[in-house]
Amino acid sequence: MAEALRQIRSILVSLRLTVVLLALSIVLVFWATLDQVHLGVWAVQQKFFHSLFVFVRVGGLQVPVFPGGYLIGGLLLANLVSAHAYRFRAGWGKAGIWIAHAGLILLLLGELISGLLQQDFQMRLDNGETKNFSESVRRYELAIVDETDPGFDGVVAIPASFLARGAAVQNPKLPFRVVPREFYPNSAIQMRGLAQGAPAPIANRGLGPQIAAQPLEVTYRENEVNIPFASVELEGPEGSLGIWAVSPELGAPQRFDYAGRKWRIAMRPERHYQPFSLTLEKFSHDIYPGTDIPKNFSSKVRIDLPGGDASREVLIYMNNPLRYGGLTFYQAGFENNDQTTVLQVVRNPSWLVPYVACAAITLGLVIQFLTHLVGFARRRAAA
């Protein structure tokens, strides 16, 4: 046992392991760069860097063929920490190396935290519109809303991942349970009158009898989106209330009455609510005079707190995001003939870590350089 532990330690502190891991990192980045053309940035991050292994489809199976970013980064971290524990000695002459390596360790940990905890959403605002939520660009949810009270909506949101599992969902706010019957993560939806050879309808309420849905392969391309589809049955104490077809492609929610209440049901992008609201006061799309070349995009927004407390105006433009309430709002684009702004909303608890890590690495390298320079000067003076 002791001999095995010594061998593991020898491997972890080995400089050869460092070189091998750096070489694997280069190959991983090169491969990911080539595959980005087919998959897009987000899918490449998930496949190559936010994973232990890179999987390739062989026949009908996913086979691991190369170490992923988490595995290479974790081994590099273990290699660096082990080398310091068993090889390097503490002392003022090594202070620069210790600080630089501490910054490198912090950088690796920061990337791990970002990969696990970072969340990305989008907020679309028309001129004069106010919102207190942003929406996911990849995840969806089934929203069942009690709209009986004209001044308040009671919302139960069920993530699409629950629908994919096919398990029934019972929420105490609902007088019925939700039973998924079909779920397609990506689909093509047509009205039945336009679909050739459409199968029998899988829903019998709302728009269901008029819709034909065909499952499609999930796409990861940047300029393409997945359109999920589901059929869900609502079951009350007295039995089935019917089966609804839901998809973000359908647009307006479908409405029905039950238990003396008014309800609406729809599939929509997953929402992230925040304890403040943003109002778009003005969106500007500037171009260079005499051309159609974009010069600048900017959104003048007002931040409002609940109860009408202190509000302030902020100008968001390229490379000048708004950071507020643990979120970062970037100017991402525009729509609707410059009447709608698109803000990228990012929650990243470790956004400061790369700055601190790079500062530590720089400081360590400077200290190490100055240490060697002073030592060299002293030797020259003594000679």
* Sign of the C-alpha dihedral computed for residues 229, 234, 240 and 241 taken in this order: negative
Q: Phi and psi of 76, rounded to 5°?
A: -65, -40
Q: Per-residue DSSP letters for 193-248?
A: TTSTTPPPPS--BTTGGGEEEEE------TT-----EEEEEEEETTEEEEEEEE-G
Residue 111 has what pLDDT? 83
Helix (H) or strand (E) holding 6: helix 2-12
Closest-CA residue to 42 (of 299, 165, 226, 270): 226
Residue 180 has what pLDDT? 94
Within 10 A of 380 (CB to CB), how many other CB atoms are there? 8
Residue 58 has what pLDDT? 83
Closest-CA residue to 136 (of 123, 124, 158, 121): 121
Within 10 A of 301 (CB to CB), how many other CB atoms are there? 26
pLDDT single digits (tens) 247-273 = 999 988 999 999 999 999 999 999 999
Residue ranges in the chain whose pLDDT is less than 70? 88-91, 193-201, 308-310
- In eight-state DSSP terms, residue 132 is E
Within 10 A of 374 (CB to CB), how many other CB atoms are there? 10
Within 10 A of 360 (CB to CB), how many other CB atoms are there? 19
Residue the block writes with tokens 């900017």: 298
**Do 261 and 148 touch, CB atoms closer than 8 A?**
yes
How far apart are the C-alpha atoms of 85 and 78, rounded to whole Å? 10
Bridge partners of residue 197, in order along the sequence:
none
**Do 35 and 48 touch, CB atoms closer than 8 A?**
yes
> Could you tell me the residue ranges of all domains in the chain?
2-118+352-382, 121-131+273-347, 139-271
